[in-house]
Chain A
Amino acid sequence: MRPLPLTSPGGPTAPAGRRTPGAKVKFATRYFLRLLRTHPSYAAGYVIVTVVVLVAIAAPVIAPYSPITADPSVYLQGPSLAHPFGTDNTGMDVLSRVIYAPRIDLAIAVIGTAISAIIGTLLGAWVGYFQGTPGIRNIASGTTMRAADVLQAFPVFVFAIALVAVFGQSIDSVIFAIAFVNIPIYLRLMRSQVLSIRRMRYVEAAFVSGMPDRFIIRDHIVPNAIGPVLAQLSVNIGWSILLTAGLSFVGAGVRAPTPEWGAMIATGFPNVMTGQWWPSVFPGLALAVTVYGFALIGTSIEFMADPRRRRTLAAAQVSA
């Protein structure tokens, strides 16, 4: 028989314990600032995303022209003082459209990712917790995993286009398609986390003390397994922006004249061949920088979720 330990060995994120909430927040903030100081590229990520969000919110104030009004007298003009990013083949101002686009792109990506993360995480926690336990719930979790296998065997892009076709071409359909193709990612991530956490002593202790399964999942499993999911979120938002742009690029996503980066690149595509690069290059650049910003944030969260690295940085903080 195994002796019961008096102290918990601690999960991946052992609770900070006896500190008061105020001190905890203060410590976390100082730690976060220190991380940004030691890793300037992470700071760049946060700056990029903040700027893009602010630009999207303040678009009507910043944009010099209307994003959907064409002025045929100035079509396909190169970058100039009046039109810093030039105009496209219908005479719309590229800069104004680039400024308005994140309203659509970010909204779709963030909502789509959030839906898939919530559903995927809950399903994953459930599947991971009940897998291998005798009874109907084991069969249900096995079935869920096989269903995820099948969904992931599909070519993502064609699958997403087909989903948009099924539900009609609209922004809602794009959000739904993105949420749907992302669910298996969170499902797997959460499941693998939960599988290792449910063997932890504190989970066993909660079980032995008669805590109902749903409370164990809520209070012990999910909080300790959530780290990698959070890191995935940011990367996934970037990836969803790319998918949205790709869908719009082939004509299965957001339609012109709605300002959207992928659709803008598609509009400028024929012009690039003949040498007018600006209608495609600027939206693509904005798109790439935004996705890069989200990727950097994802890396920084991954760093913070890694207890080993965190300890090194925290030790440096205490001694400093």
Chain B
Amino acid sequence: MAVVRYIAGRLAFLIPQIIGIVLVSFLLIKAVPGDPATLMLGPMATPQTIAELRAQLGLDKPLPVQFLIYVDKLAHGNLGTSWQTTRPVLDDLRVRFPATLELVTYGMLLALVIGIPLGVASALGKRGPLAKLGGFYGLVAGALPDFWLALILIYIFYSLLGWVASPIGRIDVTVTTPHMITGFYTVDSLLTGNWEAFRSSVHHLILPVLTLGLVNAGPILKMTQATMERTLEADFSLYGRLCGLPEKLVIRRAFRNALPSVITIVSVLYGFLIGGAVLIEIVFSWGGAGQYAVQGVLNSDFNPVLGFVIFSALFSLVVYLIVDLIYLAIDPRIRR
């Protein structure tokens, strides 16, 4: 019962936040110079047709009314149309969001695999070479422009060595894309037993995932190290050692207590990467949601931008909610 109330409390907190996000992005987009009707009709349009389209789009109404119209449409799942793809934004995002999510999820997993062990190891050997390496890695990973690292990896593994598929898109153009179930090519191709598509999509994932993993392991490493250093010196660890617990057990308990902050940084990074992987998407022509939004901004096509912002905000909120539930599961103090 307490759990339900906890979640309900969190959700009640989210609703004003979502309204705020929609409002800010709406105002931001209204502030962009240029009249969409003029842009859509091109230079040959007569003032009359422009006025007609403006009326049709609701652009002749005052701003608050326009906002209400937008929210009403939003509530019915209508995110508008993109004039670049001439398709409803919701349909576009349904294909592109999983693409971004697939990339980011694998990148995040790789970052965890690199960051946590290195972080724990450098916390254990406080002045040793591993800690030095960890500190160095953390700073360097934070300093590398990810889009540049992606280019270097492309140069080495594609141009020089030829080990990976050409760094364009999610799958070879000659391979039929797997039937969409989850939107993750790797998962869908496995589910449908399409081995050729599986191999091709894995090949296309290698470099972008490697880039994201290498760069984002930095913050995870730093957080793991800092928290582990603290929990290893905490009173409960000292007490454990005094009681004669084997060091292995002390470390395990310290790690368990360091987990909440590691999970926090992972959730923050995950939410950040949905938009933050944009540059990687562009380098690899990934066709994901971030790339879609950036092209929207650059070409004054704003429905995709709003749609993307709302999608990624919702995604972050869901991630935070899941994280809260994980806290609840791993930290008995919250349950009380």
Listed in ascending order, the chain A residues whose CB lies under 8 Å from chain B are 41, 146-147, 149-151, 153-159, 161-163, 165-166, 168, 235, 238-239, 242, 245-246, 249-252, 262, 265, 269, 272-275, 277, 280-281, 284, 287-289, 291-292, 295-296, 299
Contact = CB atoms under 8 A, between A and B. Distances in A.
Contact of B294 (A158, A166, A273): A158
Contacts of A281: 151-152, 155
Contact of A157 (B28, B167, B276, B313): B276
B139 A288 contact: no
B104 to A, nearest CB: 12
Contact of A265 (B29, B151, B154, B298): B151
27 contacts: A41-B136, A146-B20, A150-B21, A153-B21, A154-B21, A154-B24, A155-B272, A155-B274, A155-B312, A157-B290, A158-B275, A158-B297, A158-B308, A162-B25, A166-B31, A238-B142, A250-B278, A252-B297, A265-B145, A272-B154, A273-B154, A281-B152, A284-B151, A288-B145, A289-B143, A295-B139, A299-B139
Q: Which of A154, A158, A249 has the most CB of B within 10 A?
A: A158
B147 A156 contact: no
A295 B144 CA distance: 11
Contacts of B160: 275
B294 A250 contact: yes
A306 to B, nearest CB: 12
Contacts of A249: 147, 279, 282
B24 A151 contact: yes
Contacts of B158: 273
B305 interface: yes
Nearest to B320: A153
B148 interface: yes
Q: Which applies to chain B's interface (DSSP): helix, strand, loop or mixed?
A: helix
Contacts of A288: 140, 143-145, 148
Contacts of A284: 145, 148, 151-152
Interface of B: 16-17, 20-21, 24-25, 28-29, 31-33, 136, 139-140, 142-145, 147-148, 151-152, 154-155, 158-160, 167, 272, 274-276, 278-279, 282-283, 290, 293-294, 297-298, 300, 305, 308-309, 312-313, 316-317
A158 B305 contact: yes
Contact of B293 (A158, A235, A295, A299): A158
B151 A272 contact: yes
Contacts of B272: 155-156
Contacts of B317: 153
A144 B182 CA distance: 39
B297 A150 contact: no
Given A155-B275, A157-B279, A292-B139, A287 B145 contact: yes
Contacts of A246: 145, 147, 279
Contacts of B274: 155
B147 A265 contact: yes
A170 B145 CA distance: 22
Contact of A166 (B16, B32, B283): B32
Contact of B283 (A146, A155, A269, A289): A269
Nearest to B275: A155
Contacts of B20: 146-147, 149-150
Contacts of A289: 143
Nearest to A295: B139
A269 B168 CA distance: 13
A162 B297 contact: yes
B29 A158 contact: no
B28 A163 contact: yes
Nearest to B156: A277
B151 to A, nearest CB: 5
Q: Which of B21, B31, B147 has the most CB of A within 10 A?
A: B147
Contact of B309 (A147, A158, A262, A292): A158
